[in-house]
A and B are shown apart, each in its own frame.
Chain A
Amino acid sequence: MASHALSEGLFDAAAHAARWVADYRGRVGEGAGDVVAGGDPDAWTAAFEELAVAAGDDLAHAQERVQRHAEDIGTGFRVAGDSDERPWPVSPVPLLIAEGEWQAIAEGVAQRAGLIETILADIYGNGTLIAEGAIPAALINGSPLFLRPMVGLTLPGGYQLQFAAFDLGRGPDGEWRVLADHLRAPAGAGYALENRLATSRTLGGLQGRLNILRHAPFFTAFRDGLAALCKRAEPRIGLLTPGRWNASYAEQAHLARYLGFLLVEGADLAVAEDRLYVRTIAGLKRVDALWQRADPRMLDPLAFDSHSTIGVAGLIDAFAAHNVLISNAPGAGVLEAPALQAFLPALAERIIGEKLKLPNIATWWCGDTAARATVEARLDTLMIAPAFGVNPLGLPDGAVQGSELSAEARQALLTDMARRPQDYVGQELVRLSTMPVVADHELAARPFTLRVFAARGVDGDWTVMPGGFARIGEHPDIRAAVMGEGIWSADVAIYSPDPVPPASLLPAPDSTQIRRNPGTLPSRVADNFYWLGRYLERGEALLAIVRAMLGNSIDADAGAALDHDTVGRMAGLVVAAGAAAHPAHLKRPDLVQLARTALDALDGWNNIPAINRMARTIAQVSRDRLSADVVRLLDAPHPTKGSMLDRCGSLQRRYAALSGLSAEHMGRTAAWRFHDLGRRVERGLAVARLVRTFGMTGASSDDLTTLLDLADSQIGYRQRYLTGIARVPVIDLVALDPGNPRSLAYQADRIAEHLAELPVLNDDGVPEEQQAEARALCALLSTASATRLDKGQLDDAERQLAQLSDAIARRYFLQGAEPLRAGGLTLA
């Protein structure tokens, strides 16, 4: 029966696919150069059959499904509400390219990357091409990405480029052309990975049916190639991100995790004696190479822009001294200038004696007198574009199509071009062929561009990622796509006639060195994990009080109510925590109002939403190290349904789940220790406050019951004492009993344990400050007696905990000395 159902399903799928393909071909026609209409019918039929298996007869299902997979994959790296971080939603229909056709593209890309390397080496080296007039000096100087300080430096590793990306367009005749070069910090490889995962989860069978080439060998080649250029055998490689506000931060975090690079910001790094270090909990650690994704002009305030606050002072000196590799070399972006495209065909012939295997769009740089005359003569058939990616005065809104200018605008442009011709290029109009996307439950043809990636492998040769990512325009109008305004992206699948061996980024099992301690923990990350722990514990403690307050205000008639003084003390804790303010004109606190503010006010300070917000902010910058489950829980929106008590319950379950995940699922790494340290310090502070509030001489039995409740120690008390509630045993249990996991003494012991396990800077055996402070606190608590424990001692304990927290921050975290800019001289 089952096989009958399956074959029926396949029959349906085949029928749907055949109908879609036929309809689509009929609509686009043969002459438009669409990839399906002019492509291999067997391959496309296979893709559409898989689509039909996933979608049934409604293509919109496939669109939803692939998008859901993409969001799942990305969850670890981005945060709900930030979904617009992914600039282009995934289309379920991959772009299929036969291996034979791809081979030609890959060869063209490798040729181009090699050629650009040679030109860069000349520009930043002995300058022959410029001296001989093959490239105008004014073209190089025109690029804001030309970094003169790099001229004359020999490069560590010897190469300008290790990683490059190129945007290609496919004309209606099927010919591929290069539209743009990305050399300084090429983005998008992470999206290619995500698209592949999301698409192959949706079209599960396609991989096997079509022998699709895999991405992993490409990334292995890049990683190993970079590592091979480092001086040390097991180099530490950082991915330098401009930070979480950067548009592709999520992609950077994803790639860092995938490649095994340390995700670092400028503030994590320091240069001493011309060597680059990362600030870690174990002190400064050497960094051998940076894969940099920041604007290179911001890399070093001493060498480039002294206003840079994200750079590392002295980095370029360390680079020049060959002590750190920076990839790509700062300054490589100079050849991204569209103006260069005018010279590349001739440069290829001159330098390698070959034609460009992949032509670029025909370009004329107006800084050259003859070329400018051509552009003026052919203005109606060309795009007029900025020569260097910076809009000149005559093109305030970027490129324009000559034929669309009014007589007046045309004259204005020609006048500006006469003044500064070097700022302009003329480019042929590009026509793009189309590919199918799902729009409104059916297939529609849209123009697309393709970004391909090339990396230098261990042997120094270029490897091209089989595939890449396609960007697809929203409108049939082709120009939008050329301008990079596509709204969808799609996986690009290269299919082979031969089976593809499985591969992944994991090295072969016998070559892996076993490691139980997973590397170095940057100070910034330790800081984040510590505060994540503190915030989560703080939220949990506040929630317990709010819940107790609510229980006693609502159940006033049920007989379980506590006396007014006890409830007032709870309110006092909420107010003291800054979670809600007590209106001055009320004698008795309005408990419901206080609880509502502490629980629900979205614009509050130090209340539950505010605390969760801070935890979420930290999660955003730690996503390369947090599990998707943790991120999902932190991302969950504030509950709005049900009563306040229901909402308390829902939040409490969330906190419990987070606490469980950290206790049971986080590896016992240094990062986990900092997270747990944060939780212990915060809980210790909370317990000290609770004991002081509810447990001092004269405490009522309601006070003591509340203390046991809020310190989560009711069961522990009943297991130990058969008698009713009495102050001294309660105090002992909550403050001093090292066997009660909620007690103050227990927190102190765990803190001391963590600090003993964390790295020390000297091996002289003398405890560091934070270790000594922790031991002193343990000693205070282990020798204290419950009968004599008074407010003064509790104050001492609380103060010691706060000092301990400061000592931890001083020892392990980046201590926020802000870089001040020197200078600002008076000029007259």
Chain B
Amino acid sequence: MIYDIRHVTRFDYGRPVAFARCNLRLKPILWSGQQVERYELAVTPAGETRPALAEAGLANVTRLVVTERVRNLTIESVSRVMVDRMVPMPQSEDPTLAEVAALARANRDLSAAGPSAYLYPSPLIPLDADIAAWCAQDLDPDRNALEAGIALAQRIQRDFAFDPTATLVDTPPREAFLKRRGVCQDLTQIMITGLRAAGLPAAYVSGYIRTIPPPGQERLIGADATHAWVMLWCGPARGWVGVDPTNGIWMASDHVIMAIGRDYAEIAPIDGIVLGSGAQKMDVSVDVAPIG
């Protein structure tokens, strides 16, 4: 499947801001099953951009500096991505959860693609005993890792209400867990908490899913904005497997990965600082169109 993706972010400031320095992590990464065929970034008013020298997650990071005094800033990211991914089916030769945990602890890859970085709590996803206990019901150490992963995602999808009014971007996982409601980020963070508490390597993915469903299928949740889901490392043979607790499905050809990190802080599509005072307002629009 090939997608044309248009992701526009517009900031409006109550008063002119003098100086902005941002990280843009908008260009989808190169990853197994997807390729970026075209990419364009446009910033208005024009700022200086260049690739970042130092970065934490698996992301294409552009540093943006706008020195002009501005009242608004528009960042338009346009990409064409080819995605070709199979739905993974659990097999009897897949490792158990206990094996995955031991393999991840012993793994010698220190890079951001290696599993061991994702074994630990991270600043936005602390370990939580209650979430751990709730998730543990699906995470028997002797269970097939893929089976366990999809089972937990589907239970989250069933037991949690999708509710954009329940949480904010910085709501801690525990709060969403107690409410049993939230958006993709909340559900993703809860699932990651449960997996990591069980000693499993779990990563946070930001990306897109297609806006218009194929004929006869329901529209997926999360299509009007950036989406988030989970990657579970399932041993060296399987590698990273994506699973979407908001929709209770595997990551496949409807998902486009933008960036992968330990939590949102490492892969936020836009973050940084501007110098100014007063309020800021932000509008985001995302369009993911399949072109064949």
Binds A, one of B32-40, B143-151, B265-273: B265-273
Q: With a CB–CB cut-off of 8 A, which chain B residues contact A303?
A: 52, 54-55
Q: Which residues of the partner chain A approach B112 to less than 8 Å between Cβ atoms? A: 148
Q: Could you say which residues of chain A place their CB within 8 Å of the CB of B105?
A: 136, 138, 367, 421-422
Assembly CA distance A657 to B111 (angstroms) = 63
**Separation in Å of the B95 CB from the closest CB of chain A?**
16
Contacts of A304 in B (CB 8 A): 56
Shortest Cβ distance from A394 into B: residue: B129
Query: Are A817 and B184 in contact (CB-based, < 8 A)?
Result: no
Segment among B83-91, B114-122, B173-181, B234-242 that sits at the interface with chain A: B114-122
Report how far A643 CA is from B206 CA in the complex, Å: 71
Q: How far is the CB of B149 from chain A (nearest CB, A)?
A: 17
The distance from the CB of A696 to the nearest CB of chain B, in whole angstroms, is 40
Contact with A along B221-234 (1 / 0, CB 8 A): 11111111000000
Contact A419:B198 (CB < 8 A) given known A153-B54, A825-B169 = yes
When the two chains form their complex, are residues B197 and A301 in contact, meaning their CB atoms are under 8 A apart? no
Cβ-defined partner of A822 (8 Å) among B52, B63, B272: B272
If A133-B108, A141-B110, A313-B21 touch, whether A825 touches B282 (CB-CB below 8 Å) is: yes
Known: A367-B105, A393-B197, A828-B222. A306 touches B21 (CB 8 A): no
Q: Shortest Cβ distance from B175 into chain A, in angstroms?
A: 15
User: B261: shortest Cβ distance to chain A, in Å?
Assistant: 10
B107 adjacent to A321 (CB under 8 Å): no
Contact residue among A137, A305, A313, A817 (Cβ-Cβ distance under 8 Å from B18): A817
Q: B50-76, CB under 8 A of A: which get 1 and which 0?
A: 001111110000010100000000000
- Tell me which residues across on chain B come within 8 A of A149, comparing CB atoms: 54-56
Inter-chain CA distance A148–B52, complex, in Å, is 13
Residue picked from B119, B221, B280, B282, most chain A C-beta under 10 Å: B119
Contacts A130-B108, A137-B114, A369-B102 known; A828 to B268 CB distance under 8 Å?
no
Asked if B23 lies at the interface with its beta carbon under 8 angstroms from chain A, I say yes
Q: Are A131 and B224 in contact (CB under 8 A)?
A: no
Assess whether A512 is interfacial by the CB under 8 Å rule: no
With A141-B110, A141-B119, A817-B277: A827-B183 Cβ-Cβ less than 8 Å = yes
Q: Given the complex of chains A and B, what is the CA–CA distance between A392 and B277 in angstroms? A: 40
**Contacting residues, chain B, for A712 (C-beta < 8 A):** none
Interface size class of A (residues with CB under 8 A): 35 or more
Whether, in the assembled complex, B156 has its beta carbon less than 8 Å from a beta carbon of chain A, the answer is: no
> Is B9 positioned at the interface, with any CB of A under 8 Å from its CB?
yes
User: Chain B nearest CB: distance from A204 CB in Å?
Assistant: 52
A560 in the interface (beta carbon within 8 A): no
Contact B63 A317 (CB under 8 A): yes
B240-275: which residues lie under 8 A (CB-CB) from chain A?
265, 268-275
Do B169 and A305 have beta carbons less than 8 Å apart? Answer: no
| B221 & A393 in contact (Cβ 8 Å cutoff) | no
- Would you list which residues of chain A between 747 and 805 have a CB under 8 Å from chain B? none
Report which residue of A153, A307, A419 has the largest number of chain B beta carbons within 10 angstroms of its beta carbon: A419
Q: Contact: A825 with B9, CB < 8 Å?
A: yes
CB proximity of A608 to chain B, nearest CB, Å: 32
Q: Which residues of A have CB within 8 Å of B185?
A: 827
Asked if A738 is an interface residue, CB under 8 A from chain B, the answer is: no
Residues of A within 8 A of B111 (CB): 151
Q: Tell me the residues in window 205-226 of chain B with beta carbons closer than 8 Å to chain A beta carbons.
A: 206, 221-226
A residues 125-142 with Cβ under 8 Å of B? 127, 130-133, 136-138, 140-142
**Is the CB–CB distance between B52 and A825 below 8 Å?**
no
C-alpha gap A776/B121 in the complex (Å): 63
- Chain A to chain B contacts (Cβ below 8 Å), 18 pairs: A136-B106, A137-B114, A142-B120, A301-B271, A316-B53, A369-B102, A419-B197, A818-B276, A819-B274, A819-B275, A821-B273, A822-B22, A825-B226, A827-B169, A827-B222, A827-B226, A828-B221, A828-B222
Since A422-B105, A819-B275, A820-B275 are in contact, a sample of 20 more A-B pairs with Cβ atoms closer than 8 Å, ordered by chain A residue number, is A127-B110, A136-B116, A141-B119, A148-B56, A148-B57, A301-B271, A306-B23, A306-B265, A306-B271, A320-B54, A393-B129, A420-B119, A420-B199, A817-B275, A822-B274, A822-B280, A825-B169, A825-B226, A827-B185, A828-B183
Closest 3 CB pairs of A and B: A149-B54, A138-B116, A823-B271
List the interface of chain B (C-beta within 8 A of A): 9, 11, 13, 17-18, 20-23, 52-57, 63, 65, 102, 104-112, 114, 116-117, 119-121, 123, 127, 129, 132, 164, 169-170, 183-185, 197-199, 206, 221-228, 265, 268-277, 280, 282, 284
